[in-house]
Amino acid sequence: MSVIDVNHLTKYYGKARGIIDVSFHVEEGEIFGFIGPNGAGKSTTIRLLLSLIYPTSGSGTIFGKDCIKYGPELRQEIGYLPSEVFYYERMKVIDLLKYSASFYSQDCTQRMQELAELMELELNRRIEDLSYGNRKKVGIVQGLLHRPKLLFLDEPTAGLDPLMQRKSFQLIREENQRGATVFFSSHILGEVQRMCNRVAIIREGRIVEIADIRTLQQNNYKKVRVAAGDLDAAYFDMPGVTNLERHDNAVRFFFKGDINAVMHKIGEITVSDVTIEEPTLEEIFMHYYE
Amino acid sequence: MTTNIFRQEFKMHLRSVITWSVSVAVLILIYLSLFSSFAEQAELLNEMLANFPPQFLTAFGMTGVNLATVLGYFGFVFLFAQICVAIQAANYGFSLVSVEEREWTADFLLAKPVSRTHILTSKLLAALSGLLITDIVVWIASLLFVNLFRAGRTYELKPLLVLLVSIVPFQLFFLSVGLVISLLVKRIRSVTPYAMALGFGMYVLSVFGDLLGTSILETITPFKHFEPHYILDNGAWDLPLVLISVVVIVISVVGSYLLYNRRDIPAVV
């Protein structure tokens, strides 16, 4: 069953582009990565699905229900961590969390305590006294305390120290194993690569690719490095080769197609070293952005 | 309505409500405590006032004021209370929704399982409760201090009560107009200038209306719709004018709900 279905969603802010004709779906139980640079439309998409803003055209459904019409009811099952966390400055952390919990029908007290302990939150501090990282921790706790079935995480780890990043990843995985579907927006490829099953790449408001992380890495490109005495880069200039460059004593390029073509070429010369490997998501990603 | 939002909003208003209530009460106390000394020399004062240029008297709301009577004097005092209450109500109106957007807390609140209609209703009721507290303080202060400082003079209770009650629709005007304006503009960076402009601006309009002798301005400003001297002299509201206020309130409130339910909540960029 699809948890999120987005159909030709378009949003303009006046004349400024938000997102254009975005369509995708997220299956129950998956961790869906949503990746793109700042300003590509990641937050716009999430905020449309939460009906914080309204679409210019197109629609979205969550759990099969229209996300605007059934918004209040749907949000009972949704946890949201915004990319920038802002809370009522003069409130104490504990009061904010209790306020947050008071919106949900179930009793969240125990889960709230667990999460606060895990994230090492000081409950009696005022929000205005918290650092950015600590605010983010409050955000994580308030987003998870009602055991949501769907999580929208908008750059969840920005501003957290590595230890807390690892803890929150762990937490997100646990939530996922418990059955929660996770929509994970980020511009940090490493974390998407580690966390997600599938990924959508968004660029200048449009989806450029939706793929399985593995297929994205395996089926498409190979990263080839050939070291040889006085090899000219032009030697490998053939169909399927991109980003061809000579660096020190080696020629490097990406290759897409039948790998035997490259093997033949390499076989005809004397080499000192050869590596053929999967490109990192980073490198694939850069490719989409050129 | 959602009780948790109401409670939260009410708590956030409370300090401001207390400050305004005490200020207005103190203002009434100070002015009324001067009544006995004014009243003793009322003939002299009234004579003196008569010698002032009429424009000057109009500007300070003293046209036709008879300082020798308790209510004549109170009407003059009440105008200042009205200005304060207008700015307070406008302040709440302008900040009701905009404060969440200015401090970026709207994302938190609106991602909760509540409809915007519920949010707005809870916020409006919390602001109204705050204003009602101010009203009660103003009512008690007025009745108490009028009786305390009337210097043995008598007055009619009914016109005074009619005047005191008029403060409720008067506030509603500023609350609802402030709210609808805050939803018509994209973003309010600071509430105070807007609240001052609306509250004080309406007062200035009523003064100009008097100075210029035009009745057009009367139709706009609630300071004319609920003019203390008219109410005290007649023991009743100036109904056609009050109706204008009521219509403006209804349109503003309905408009606010429509606008808020369609509003795109701005995000940090």
Cβ-Cβ contacts under 8 Å between A and B: the total is 67
Q: Enter the tokens of residue A166.
A: 């690892």
Cα distances (angstroms) measured from residue B130 to each of B7, B12, B20, B173 = 11, 10, 10, 15
Q: Is the pLDDT of residue A290 over 60?
A: no
- B107 contacts A47? CB cut-off 8 A: yes
Over chain A, what is the mean pLDDT?
88
A128 touches chain B (CB under 8 A): no
Confidence of residue A282 (pLDDT cuts 50, 70, 90): low
Share of chain A above pLDDT 90, in %: 50
Among chain B, residues having any CB pair with chain A shorter than 8 Å are 2, 4, 8, 12, 103-108, 110-115, 118, 262, 264-265, 267-269
Of B4, B264, B265, the CB nearest to A103: B4
Per-residue pLDDT tens digits for A141-156: 999 999 999 999 998 8
What's the ipTM? 0.85
Helix (H, G, I), strand (E, B) or coil at B91: helix
DSSP designation for A279: P
Mean pLDDT of A121-142: 91
Mean pLDDT of A96-121: 91
Of B103, B114, B262, the CB nearest to A89: B103
Mutate to test the interface with B, among A46, A86, A150 (most CBs of B within 10 A): A86
Q: How crowded is residue A175: how many other Cβ atoms within 10 Å of its Cβ? A: 21
Only one residue has tokens 């009407």, namely B75
Per-residue pLDDT tens digits for A84-99: 889 998 899 999 999 9
Per-residue pLDDT tens digits for A209-239: 888 887 776 656 788 899 887 778 888 888 8
Closest CA to B151 of B33, B25, B46: B33
B229's CB contacts (< 8 A; 6+ apart) are B64, B65, B75
Domains, chain A, ranges and CATH?
2-214 (3.40.50.300), 220-289 (3.30.70)
Per-residue pLDDT tens digits for B129-177: 999 999 999 999 999 999 888 877 888 889 999 999 999 999 999 999 9
Contacting residues of B for A75, CB less than 8 Å apart: 111-114
Per-residue pLDDT tens digits for B212-232: 776 777 788 999 899 888 898
Give the lowest-confidence range in A72-76, A284-288, B16-20, B192-196. Answer: A284-288
Q: Enter the tokens of residue B180.
A: 């609808």
Q: Enter the tokens of residue A100.
A: 């947050």
CA B95 centroid distance within chain: 16
A131 touches chain B (CB under 8 A): no
As a dihedral over the C-alpha atoms of residue A172, residue A174, residue A175, residue A181, rounded to 10 degrees, the angle is 80
Interface of A with B in 57-86 (CB under 8 A): 71-76, 78, 80, 82-84, 86
Confidence of residue A206 (pLDDT cuts 50, 70, 90): very high
pTM of the model: 0.86
CA distance B178 to chain A (A): 22
Q: Supply φ then ψ for residue B195, to 5 degrees.
A: -65, -40
Q: Is the pLDDT of residue A281 over 70?
A: no
